[in-house]
Structure 1
């Protein structure tokens, strides 16, 4: 039975529903052991701001050379061992989307104190290995996100930690109104922070890797799609190939498709900006993880969701995918949280730092580097905000997600699944949103329609039921209102599947509107001039 049909059949039976909801359960074993840990010789890692800027501005990067010489983040970030020895600890504070706003700076100052305390010794001094990392989206709209002024405000804030720090770009970091191109905007970011936008840093036994989005104005569809270009991917693959036995922790603004992390269907999936490279080979990153079992951790933000959901930490093979919350009031669920990664020679811990609870810390995940098993969160059950048994859409959020699935033994499946082609699966969630999933990654990749209260069916030519097992002969989705009998029809898109583009590139649309207004004004001015000449 073809994959999509088998997945649909399994998902429509309560006993096997977790097959789909687990996101990437099919990959959770058989990854094999990593090679023995190899030493990394860092040459020129603590690069000067000027040299980093020059490196980042190059038209191309020799991937092999980049793999041999990881570029430092801020000067001093890649500084090797912190005291050395088996008992050494490298604490790394990982902050999600900041969206700094003037009226909320007291919240950010408070969170800074919490994180410094979490990275300190018993005397209140920062441990020698303390580091700070931020995953993009620096400014709120009062600070003009993506502008040089916004970057300078963020630089002041990050400098206040008193520890080496580095960051990557998020989608909002490239929307500066003073720039005409993404390249100009990115160059200003590099200039202010004195670092390259992609980098590798040595944190004890771990290579910490940052990959940035490079598109906003030039995105094919939504300006908010997080896009890592081919240059960065080639460099990252070369880095992994050069150091196959070294544990790697990755930071990107959005997570990879196939990671299984919670998303907001009605926002990020609808606008096709949930995953890295959502509109261009989104599965390439999870495939990279499958090929390189030394990728052990992957941190991301973007969704403004808390760290209290069962799918705030997921796993594929030996790699744990970790969602990072927000510090300010831009959360979707009332939680203000950051992550703390504690690295030792033997393993790691991932903790939540809860800024709404006075900086209280909680261990969510821990594992030894030589443990080949799939990482499993250890978050206490009473800290979770919903029942993990109800699957992918488990949520008590007030941000557009459907109500929890009815998991009672006699309940009919609350989500109906339809095979719609070789790699296309449609899900009518809770009688509400009709969402398209990619079979290879089992990730929701786009919204087809809001089908609340509608009966959903697939039809082949002549409105006959599809005859092929994989649904590839379906030509349309029919949505029927049972109360009125009214039916609407949705055909396949230009890619041969069914998702709709609800958010075209808004920046491009605004530019066209401005050009049209300017042309109309010029035409009006010319007409007035001609009229004046005629009167004379």
Structure 2
């Protein structure tokens, strides 16, 4: 069984002087998330980061991010979001060979596939330079189709920043994965895809894409207010930060847990 943890929407920010403050909210929150993840009785086999890792896409933000993630003993796989800069992200994770699979040309998509304890993790780049929405052009769709076709019998998890299903929060859906029909058709052709995981929403949500379960991950920093009215209010809440843990069995059964940040201990044993 593969255990894949998911951290998302870290939004590590630099101050006006260009330095990242160790005492700032997102830094403290990421430290807490890493500590919580390491306190799990069964440590994950890998961690996927589903975008908006740096708030401003600055090299110093990514350098600090890389340092804050260094206590994690397992492989870490980043995916860019709409706040990220592909080139700065790729440079910061130069010690992660998979991140460079799609090349080093300026603004090349950060996309790759890796094996995690018998499960395939396919990381797709839905970010758009200068935009908050997500998309995948024809070339990226063709890459995804070919990548999935290369391992039709291996249970597969697909990671993106933007979810390909409606959330119901107006301003998030305004920044949705646009023109997702081609992406959905690819998923339909590949039954080995057992879970789709995304960020962007700053809270846990569950939907379907091509008949498969798709989930979004809580933010390690701030959660968005659940306002499903129209036009709705764009606001953050005091809800606890968190992350997700995905289990995939050898037969392709997938389960997702949402975990609030905090080093929780058993209160009592139950029979």
TM tier, smaller: 0.7 to 0.9
1:274 matched to 2:185? The reply is: no
Contact in 2 for aligned 1:204/1:343 (Cα 8 Å): no
Counterpart selection for 1:100 from 6, 12, 31:
12
For residues 33-68 of structure 1, the C-alpha deviation after alignment (integer angstroms, 9 at most, x for no partner) is xxxxxxxxxxxxxxxxxxxxxxxxxxxxxxxxxxxx
Deviation at 1:233, TM superposition (A): 1.7
Structural RMSD (CA): 2.3
1:187 matched to 2:87? The reply is: yes
Evaluate the alpha carbon distance shift between residue 359 and residue 234 of structure 1 in structure 2; reply closer, same or farther with a 3 A threshold.
farther
Match of 2:128 in 1: 215
Contact in 1 for aligned 2:45/2:116 (Cα 8 Å): no
1:297 matched to 2:205? The reply is: no
User: Which structure: larger Rg?
Assistant: 1
Deviation at 1:335, TM superposition (A): 3.5
SS of the residue corresponding to residue 39 of structure 2 reads helix
1:167 matched to 2:78? The reply is: yes
1:329 matched to 2:222? The reply is: yes
**Whole-Å Cα distance in 2 between the matches of residues 360 and 288 of structure 1?**
42
**Whole-Å Cα distance in 1 between the matches of residues 215 and 139 of structure 2?**
25
**Whole-Å Cα distance in 2 between the matches of residues 214 and 317 of structure 1?**
21
Match of 2:136 in 1: 228
Match of 2:62 in 1: 151
Q: Mean alpha-carbon deviation: is it higher for 327-336 or for 283-292? A: 327-336
**Whole-Å Cα distance in 1 between the matches of residues 37 and 132 of structure 2?**
29
SS of the residue corresponding to residue 303 of structure 1 reads coil
Evaluate the alpha carbon distance shift between residue 230 and residue 153 of structure 1 in structure 2; reply closer, same or farther with a 3 A threshold.
farther
Counterpart selection for 2:156 from 248, 261, 283:
248
**Whole-Å Cα distance in 2 between the matches of residues 93 and 324 of structure 1?**
10
- The two structures have a TM-score, normalised by structure 2, of 0.76
**Whole-Å Cα distance in 2 between the matches of residues 230 and 255 of structure 1?**
18
Match of 2:113 in 1: 200
Deviation at 1:351, TM superposition (A): 0.9
Evaluate the alpha carbon distance shift between residue 359 and residue 200 of structure 1 in structure 2; reply closer, same or farther with a 3 A threshold.
farther
For residues 402-460 of structure 1, the C-alpha deviation after alignment (integer angstroms, 9 at most, x for no partner) is xxxxxxxxxxxxxxxxxxxxxxxxxxxxxxxxxxxxxxxxxxxxxxxxxxxxxxxxxxx
Counterpart selection for 1:131 from 39, 42, 46:
46
Deviation at 1:359, TM superposition (A): 4.8
**Whole-Å Cα distance in 2 between the matches of residues 130 and 245 of structure 1?**
20
SS of the residue corresponding to residue 208 of structure 1 reads strand
Q: Greater RCO between the two (CA within 8 Å, min separation 6)?
A: 2
Give the total of aligned pairs: 230
Match of 1:115 in 2: 37
- The two structures have a TM-score, normalised by structure 1, of 0.40
**Whole-Å Cα distance in 2 between the matches of residues 360 and 301 of structure 1?**
27
Contact in 2 for aligned 1:245/1:294 (Cα 8 Å): yes
Match of 2:103 in 1: none
Where does structure 1 lack aligned partners over 5 or more consecutive residues? 1-88, 175-185, 218-222, 362-536
Whose helix fraction is larger, Structure 1's or Structure 2's?
Answer: 1
